Structure 1
Amino acid sequence: MLVDTKFDLDEVWRIFKPLLSPIATPESLELPPLRELIELCDSHGYFIKERCTIKNDIVHAHLRLQLNDVLLVGDGYDRNRKTAKGKAASHLLKELENRGIRYSRGDSKRKQDPDHVVDSSSLDLTNAHTCEPKNHKKQKKVENESPTGSSGVPSLVGSPKEGLPVIESINMKKGGPRTTLFELCKKGEWTRPTFQTTETKSRTPIIFGEGSERRESFISFISKITLNIPFYGIIECAGDPRPDKKSSFDSAALAMLYELKELGRLIIVDAQ
């Protein structure tokens, strides 16, 4: 065909395109229900809990999805575990669609990074040389605080039945505080926290840390973290200035962990 058209690729494509249509693209490709649910929840910071039981050769898949104001439950039954989970996922997708939450491939690509960040920059022309470490307790904002919420459902953390979550220690290596906080959110079925970062530039070097940890930089980053606890409210904290974004995320996550401790929502063993 290529030779007959005298190597005209456009003409070859014109002939073959009707034979290949419709052509699948990442945007038009239909995902299995469970995969679609996972990508949708990842893009919005929701965590899914699943449990599968078998009775009389029938698999019962039970999926739980905690939103900020309601707990959604999906059930599926089949002889095959994968199919049962797919049926349960389909039920949750319909519930989410009824609430205006739909799957978008663009959202999935935009939020692949677990640290959802909003950046803002400002130029600081002051002659600051040092950044003194602050106390763990940061500015906070708690809204609509209620042990039960409007629906009467008790908070998942701090209720007499569930008890307070306990953290033996916080990993202070890079990424450790974030990992600890994300695991806490997953266990408590809270929406993953978001970060808002402000970049500050200086004409003179800024000193971070002491001793072997001492670093100099002309840029500092301060991150504010926002956590929405279902049936409790919104908590906001700000971290300390750090020379890079990831470290500022860790500082904000550490501040949030200690703030949760101050609010009686968490027990940190090594802080006692």
Structure 2
Amino acid sequence: MAYWLSNTSALLFLLQSSLKSSAAAQKPPAPTSFFSRMTQSFRSSSANLAVGVVRQVEAKYPALLFKQQLTAYAEKIYGIIRDNLKKDLSLLLSCCIQVPRASKGTAFKTFEESEEVDSSPACHWQRIIESLNKHLSTLKENFVPPTLIQKIFIQIFAYINTQLFNSFLVRRECCTFSNGQYVKYGLAELELWCAQVTEEYAGSSWGELKHTRQAVAFLVLQEKSSITYNEITNELCPVLSVQQLYRICALFRDDSNNAPSVSPDVISSMKTSIIRWFRR
């Protein structure tokens, strides 16, 4: 699939740079799909090419129809590649949402203390990194344009963010201190991966995890009862809505030393903000 994505996108770029609209044709509507915007951007960037390097010909209906069908074909292949990677990560993510338990039902103390890789909680996160590397290598070996690779991983990281963040909102067992530490470890691995593959391939992928990153920052925060409403909403978790913060605060339980969550005053301020929001 990566081979065909590389070839169809290359042909699509070539068509975009070589076809010129007929003078009698109406102004085309603004592109809505990712591939349409990308090929239009390619035409703009190719406008400064030396005359004669790319010979433009007037676009006729058969050529325009072919280009339209080729765009749909490339988008289909792109979607299959992206969804296959999501499928590979789905089962692994389900294991990364909550700290794995030992066979006797006790939680692992730390990630570093586990000597057996296969039984370590970190193993699931390592497999996610391996899956990302495997797909990246396949895309690069088949010369898929970096722009497309970036887009794939940006959407994949958005998917990871949704899966992890939603678990904090709907599953009480996930809103714990130890689980926050576990996900924090995984986020560090993903950040390192983005840095290693560079922006050329990762793009803004790391930024897609901002909701999960801020939720984790709250879960692992020491002495939550001393934080103020303004501190949690403006400094610690500015991206999260008050409704999301209230849900996480309500579900949180400190499984390390039974320390309390945020103060009653913070909860009260959140409730007031939520009521005001609904009355708008």
TM-score, normalization by structure 2: 0.26
Between structures 1 and 2, the one with greater strand share = 1
Between structures 1 and 2, the one with greater helix share = 2
TM-score, normalization by structure 1: 0.27
